[in-house]
Every structure is written in C-alpha cells, then in structure tokens.
Structure 1
C-alpha cells in the first residue's frame, strides 16, 4: 500500500503584466495558505517522504512550504508543468519503492483529472487543495487507473 498526495499549487499572482505563466509567483493568499496546509498535514500525522513539484514558480513555492514542514527536499520535474492526468500518474509510477508516502505538486486541470483517473472520485480542486489517495499497489510502477481510493480532500477553506 502506498499513499499519494496530489496537491494543486497555492493561489498565484496574476497582477504582474508581461510575466510568463511559468514565472507567476504566489499572491498574498497563496503565501498564507501553503504553510497553513503544510502544518495541517503535519498535524494530521501524514508522513510525506518525497515531494516532486512542477518547475513553475507558484508550484515550487508551494512545494517549498511542504518541504520545510516535513524537513525534506523538493525534486523538480519539468513534466508536471501543465501536465495531463496520464503524465502525472506516470511521474508517480516512477517514484522509488522505498517511498511509501509521496506528494506531487502541480496544476489544474491535470490534478483534478489525475484524482478522477486514479480513484474514480470527481472533486472540486481549488488552489492549495491536497487529495490524499491510498494506492493499492506494492510498487509504484504498478500504479494504474483505478488502483487508488480517495482518503481525504483537504482545502484551505475547510480548516
């Protein structure tokens, strides 16, 4: 059994004209929500062992908050930027087997679609939401569509 947390980046800043989408930072709400969500996961006893993030500034900044809370590094993955559900699950299936609890930080609509493909659950996935999914596999490469079940969806608004 593995646990996969699929996280959408926190709220980003759209006010910086001329900035490439990839380079948009978090806005004030995002800078507040990301550490609060990391603290909630820690308080809930979630034991994240690996964090893999999109290279986009807003995703990486969100991932950095989780990494600080769990005292682990962030691994950047170019493929997670604007990734499809299939790509997100491919990244998850490449995780090392010694990792039992992993988090991928990325973007919508890919994260919403990945949760649906993995678990069959169709959820609203606001910014900074984290879907905690149990994956019924012994090894990450065994991860396939329908091999998971939704344990919990955490959002900044339900604190």
Structure 2
C-alpha cells in the first residue's frame, strides 16, 4: 500500500509581542506564505491523485494557524487534529507519532517545528538539509504500515518552500 507523509514547517512567526513561545502568532509573511504553499501542495497532490486523510498539528499557535490556512487552500474538510508530541520534540518522537497512525490513513500531513522537521526530513532524504519556514516535504512510501516508515526509503520525494526559485 502506498503511504504519503507530508511534513510542513509552520509559517514565519511573529516576535513582536512578548508572548510565551507556544502562543506566538504568524507574522504577515507567514499569513501570506501558508495559503500560497497550500495551493502549490494542492497542485502537487492533484498531479499524484492523492488527498490528505488527516492533518495533524502541533498545538502551538503558529503551527495551528499554518495548518488551518493550509487546510483552506487544500479545500480539506477532514479532521484537523492536535498532537502535543509534535511541539518541542525530536525526530524519534515524531517517528513514534507517525508509527502510531491509523492504518486506514493513506496520506497524512504533519505541521510542526524546526529543528525536528529538518532532521526528520533529512533522515528520509539527504537532499533536504533544512526546512525553511512554511517548507513542505512530501514523501511517498510503499509499505504495509505506518510503523514500517522509519525502515523504508521513500519511492518519491517532493520538496518546496516559499523562496524556492
């Protein structure tokens, strides 16, 4: 069975307000980039006839806002779920989140943070060394289960970010 994992780093966040890290909102650039990247992802997914079954986000304000803007651009009407483990984690924890996904799901989007997302993406593709804000990395796998993903090599990789030439 084909599995598609999409990693989305949250959009550019604001540092203007004196807020706790989890509560930092998207900056104007993040509010602009997230819908644009959602449209690019929608086109890429349409080309592959894949649609997300689940969007799973960090509960941090900037990640959740990115996830909502992305969902709107994708015309996604499914569940937008939060997972505390995506905030301030590490790539091992993210692999555990992925491994525990419902086997009925074929395409899942995770929205979260750096440096964990860059590290995880680099683990799947050595070509990806850094995920800038609002970057999207899509990995296709041929595997029987989500728990097998850490041991598999992607059959296809797509990487895009707002300032990509």
Q: TM-score, normalised by structure 2?
A: 0.88
Q: Do residues 138 (structure 1) and 144 (structure 2) align?
A: yes
1:113 maps to 119
1:136/1:12 CA distance change after superposition, 3 Å: same
- Offset of residue 139 of structure 1: 0.9
**2:60 counterpart (56, 59, 64):** 56
For the pair 1:99 / 2:100, whether they are aligned, the reply is: no
Aligned to 2:38: 38
Count of aligned pairs: 158
**Distance between the aligned counterparts of 2:109 and 2:157, measured in 1?**
14
CA shift for structure 1 position 131: 0.5
SS in 2 for 1:156: coil
Instruction: Give the direction of change, closer, same or farther, for the CA distance of 1:117–1:14 in structure 2 (3 Å limit).
Output: same
3-state DSSP class of the match of 1:16? coil
Consecutive unaligned residues in structure 2, runs of 5 or more: none
- TM-score (normalizing by structure 1): 0.91
Structure 2 residue aligned with 1:6: 7
Distance in 1, Cα, partners of 2:91 & 2:126: 12
What stretches of structure 1 of length at least 5 have no aligned partner?
A: none
In angstroms, what is the RMSD of aligned CA positions?
1.6
